[in-house]
Chain A
Amino acid sequence: MKSELDIMLTVDGAEERTTVEPRMLLIQALREKLGVKGPHIGCESGRCGACTVLVNGEAVKSCMMLAAQADGAKITTAAGLAAEDGTLHPLQQAFHEHHALQCGYCTPGMLCAAMDLLKTNPKPNENDVRQALRGNLCRCTGYQHIVDAVLSAAGTLGSGASAVKGAAE
């Protein structure tokens, strides 16, 4: 009764083949078929951005794309951002330095959305960041530390913006 489709994806550098129902979403294929658990499901309706991945270098909410549409694509998730020796990508390092994550659930999607921003606009100002990332919800951080992290990774963070008052480090 069901017609299954064979698809091929390159996920974080590894070639993966699987079969999916035509209706299966990319996020479901990644999580359920391929065991790629970095991107998360937060709303299934494109509102929260927790499922954001890079599809051929562009940020895509993977709950808004069918797995079959991504056939042949190169998918990058948060797990694929670090160097092969494990060294964090400067954006990941900036998230760590600026305490830009708390529960961590939105973080993989947030990183992918920010990667896309920095590719299209390598020197964003604060307003650029707030506009570009508005499709990704975070309920923990109030966003300021994420903004600081992205600006810092881009080298456009004003001095002192993120200093913790009274903290000897």
Chain B
Amino acid sequence: MNAPDLNTAQRAETGKHTGKAMRRMEDMRFLTGRGRYVDDITLPRQLYAHFIRSPHAHARILKINTEAALAVSGVKGVYSAEDLHGTRDVPPNWVLPGSQVKGRPALAREIVRHVGECVAVVLAESPEAAADAGALVDVAYDPLPTVFSASDALKENAHKVHGDLPGNIATTFKTGNGGYEEALEKAGREIAFSLRNQRLVPFPIEGRAVNADFDPATERLTFYTAHQIPHMLRRMLAGALGFPEHKLRVISPDVGGGFGPKMHFYPEELTLARLSCLLKRPVKWTERRSENVAATTHGRDHEMEVRVAVQNDGKVLGLKLDSKANVGAYLSSMGTGVPTINVALFALGVYAIPHSDVTITCAYTNTTPVDAYRGAGRPEAAYMIERVMDRVALELGLDPAETRKRNFVQPDQMPYAQPTGTTLDTGEYAMTLDLALKNAGYEGLRKEQEEARKKGRYLGIGFSNYTETCGMGNGYLLQFVGFDRGGYESAVVRVHPDGRATVLSGSHSHGQGHVTTFAQIAADELGIAPEQIEVLQGDTDMIPFGIGTFNSRSVPVGGSAVKVAAGRVAAKMRRIAAHLLQCEPEKVLVEDGIFKAADGNGTVTVERVAHAAWTGHDMPYEMGIGLEETEFFHPQSMSSPYGAHIALVEVDPETGEVELKRYIAVDDCGVIINPLLARGQVHGGLAQGIGQALYEDAGFDAQGRPALEPSIPRFDMLPRFETDHTVTPTPTNPLGAKGLGEAGAIGAPPAIVNAAIDALWSLGVRALDMPLTPERVLTSIRNAANKETEV
């Protein structure tokens, strides 16, 4: 098992700046309280908005009485759906072909379908006046029957969420190559169980925030918003508003965390843009936490039934998945795509399972719309297949690591087309698992477990060998699945006459540190220091059309665009330098801003080269003017990051408490641009994945109202993480980088639940749902005990 220095041996070659743990250049303003977030921006003649929201999960609006609200000093007006006539519903942007589409109304018309839905909005001269008036808007409702879970919504005779849509089905998606029954016959053994991926509240510490500013003089709308994808928002907003896209400017300044929900287009955004155009004044709204948990999109909420056909040696021959996804009351931006494509395609994980049969049904319910949240579908898939692997091992009395090795897709099979529809580009799964086993001291852990059991303590070890996909592939493929976006990313690289450089990127950092990593990438190409490079994002007037930050795509796609554009600028700089040095361009070397001929005759500085480029002085006419290149990097296909995670837990069978004692993660995201920032991404993902496994739940009450605080992990609720990497470069982009932002959130939940079940297996516990609250664990132990006595 000992494979020394797997990690360093496999580390791919990087440059002078890439691969280094450079400290972030953007830190200074945040550390000194000078970050600039949307709520920090107040404009002249500012109006403030306060939304009136439904307290009911389903109700008819009888009357909206605004009289008392309008009497409050400083109130400009109270607006409801009829004041916005002509405004379209907020449409989804990813619609699987054949879906029944119900977009989110800007303001509810007649019926509200989830708690927190916008019914009316007050605009006033101060936030206090808006809130005071908001409390006086009197809405009369007639409550209607409700349905909250996907499985209830799909029952015959379920209440209809939308009156014209019987059955509440948004879409049904099927994939796989079939043949499960034959596989079962051959394998001779079936393991079947159900799993639940609970609903989560993403909870960025900064909620959403908007400042919509229509200028009647220029007839331009400047739209400040805390967002992950400024250009896509511009397109979606312009379309719904009927506003010319070229006169709409989206500015997303510093963004206080995103995790998915800030890549969507929301009713509040449409309403505020419309009202700013109507009143010709800037309108500002900052989401309160109570609004955030009820109206900003949620994640997951997926119920699964899985059956696998397995041989006695642990080899899985077939998988059958029947799954129900809750999309909420309306389709949000990622619509029916995330719960189907992003789950079903990855249902077989990193395993060569010959036969599969996957069906996913998406159901409307009277709940907050569900959309992409860190991992977006891949956590649901990984949770299922990784629970399967540990379950197979436990049922057959095999080691879970060995069971995985018997099922892994092998390196010589790459690229490997899974019959569910995804292609794994790279992966040396056994190598990565071996490093995790080594870092965990696995043999010792099993001994420790055995010893502890003798003393009546219940330790458990759980595994997860997740995979996912990052950096969406080309536009043609996206069109095929109904995803109305391109899969490229933009970059402009401009070297100024003083030798410093600007990088414009269509990606948009909301904490990831692009200002530093993209500067490292450009610096290696240009031969200047990262500190001489400024990376700018988040302003659609300044930056070429981009797709934005989600799907862990910023480094693999956005970073690749920077590398390619910078490479072209660097090539021109070499041609100019060669002309000045009177040598061949191939002979020119550059380091630290100094060009020299390989055979040593003379040097020129980057400033000299840049001056020549921007003036044409000393240059032949054919050289052309300038040092600036634009790249729309468009990958052919996606990359497949993966990892091997191991969790060690101790469960107290008396109290039901689960203590996460150790968490060992080995991730493979291909080439790493900045190991320090990469580790930060892994930590953040793990915190959210551990949060899902142990603590978090949207926690609807009987009326369909989510909890104000869904148990977000605090300092004392998380262990110290043990992280490491293997490096298997992807051939899908010139960096060899795969993406890492979502890895921890995908890998952690199955590892931890598997560990808890491993701890309690001898007590007969088979079923255990997240989050692993003491109450739920105790119930599982009791149920298992009752079953034993029945037998």
Contacts and interface: CB of A to CB of B under 8 A. Distances in A.
Nearest to B727: A166
Contact of A96 (B23, B204, B513): B23
Contact of B32 (A48, A50, A92, A145): A92
B39 A107 contact: no
Contact of A79 (B34, B708, B712): B34
Interface string A105-131: 111100100000000000000110111
Contact of A145 (B7, B680, B725): B680
Given A40-B206, A92-B32, A99-B680, A139 B257 contact: yes
Interface string B758-780: 00000000000000000000000
A168 B20 contact: yes
B31 A101 contact: yes
Given A102-B512, A164-B21, A166-B675, A95 B683 contact: no
Nearest to B714: A134
Interface stretch (B230-238, B344-352, B715-723): B715-723
A139 B204 contact: yes
A46 to B, nearest CB: 11
Contacts of A54: none
A133 B257 contact: no
Contact of B206 (A79, A96, A99, A103): A103
A83 B128 CA distance: 36
A45 interface: yes
B671 to A, nearest CB: 12
B24 interface: yes
B782 interface: no
B40 interface: yes
A104 B256 contact: yes
B30 A107 contact: yes
A26 interface: no
B505 to A, nearest CB: 17
B24 A99 contact: yes
Contact of A166 (B8, B35, B37, B286): B8
B33 A96 contact: no
Interface residues of A, number: 62
Most buried by B among A92, A96, A104, A164: A104
Contacts of B254: 103-105
Interface stretch (B310-318, B408-416, B684-692): B684-692
Contacts of B676: 99, 164, 167
A79 B33 contact: yes
B201 to A, nearest CB: 11
Nearest to A45: B289
A78 B7 contact: no
B32 A82 contact: yes
Nearest to A95: B31
B724 interface: yes
B31 A78 contact: yes
Interface in A115-167: 126-127, 129-131, 133-147, 164-167
B672 to A, nearest CB: 8
Contact of A139 (B203, B512, B725): B203
Given A134-B714, A168-B20, A141 B256 contact: no
A95 B30 CA distance: 10
A99 B679 contact: yes
Contacts of B448: none
A44 B289 contact: yes
Contacts of A34: none
Contact of B511 (A48, A77, A103): A103
A137 B695 CA distance: 14
B510 interface: yes
B289 A42 contact: yes
A5 interface: no
Most buried by A among B30, B39, B256: B30
A78 B32 contact: yes
A21 interface: yes
Nearest to B7: A166
A152 B227 CA distance: 34
B33 A142 contact: no
B511 A144 contact: no
The A interface, classified by DSSP as helix, strand, loop or mixed, is loop
What interface size band does chain B fall in?
A: 35 or more
A102 B688 contact: no
A142 B686 contact: yes
A111 B27 CA distance: 13
Nearest to B26: A104
A140 to B, nearest CB: 5
A111 B31 contact: yes
Nearest to A1: B73
Contact of A137 (B34, B205, B510, B679): B205
Contacts of A108: 30, 33
B255 interface: yes
A87 B402 CA distance: 54
Contacts of A78: 31-33
A107 B206 CA distance: 12
Contacts of A134: 714-716
B721 A165 contact: no
Contacts of B259: 139
Nearest to B27: A96
Interface in B364-385: none
Contacts of B29: 104
A93 B511 CA distance: 18
B7 A45 contact: no
Nearest to B5: A166
B624 to A, nearest CB: 39
A103 B407 CA distance: 39
A169 B688 CA distance: 29
Given A103-B204, A139-B204, A45 B708 contact: yes
Most buried by B among A39, A40, A140, A168: A140
A50 B288 CA distance: 13
A111 B203 CA distance: 21
A3 B649 CA distance: 57
Contacts of A129: 715
B715 A167 contact: no
A97 interface: yes
A44 B680 CA distance: 28
Nearest to A43: B289
Contact of A169 (B20, B128, B512): B20
A37 interface: yes
Given A103-B256, A105-B254, A134-B714, 16 more contacts: A38-B34, A50-B206, A97-B23, A99-B23, A99-B24, A99-B680, A102-B511, A103-B204, A105-B204, A134-B716, A135-B714, A137-B712, A141-B683, A164-B675, A165-B675, A165-B724
27 contacts: A37-B36, A40-B39, A43-B289, A77-B33, A79-B33, A81-B32, A99-B23, A103-B254, A104-B26, A104-B29, A104-B30, A104-B35, A104-B254, A105-B254, A105-B256, A106-B256, A126-B720, A134-B714, A134-B715, A139-B204, A141-B680, A143-B718, A144-B718, A164-B21, A167-B21, A167-B675, A169-B21
User: Top 3 closest A-B pairs, CB basis?
Assistant: A38-B33, A104-B30, A105-B256
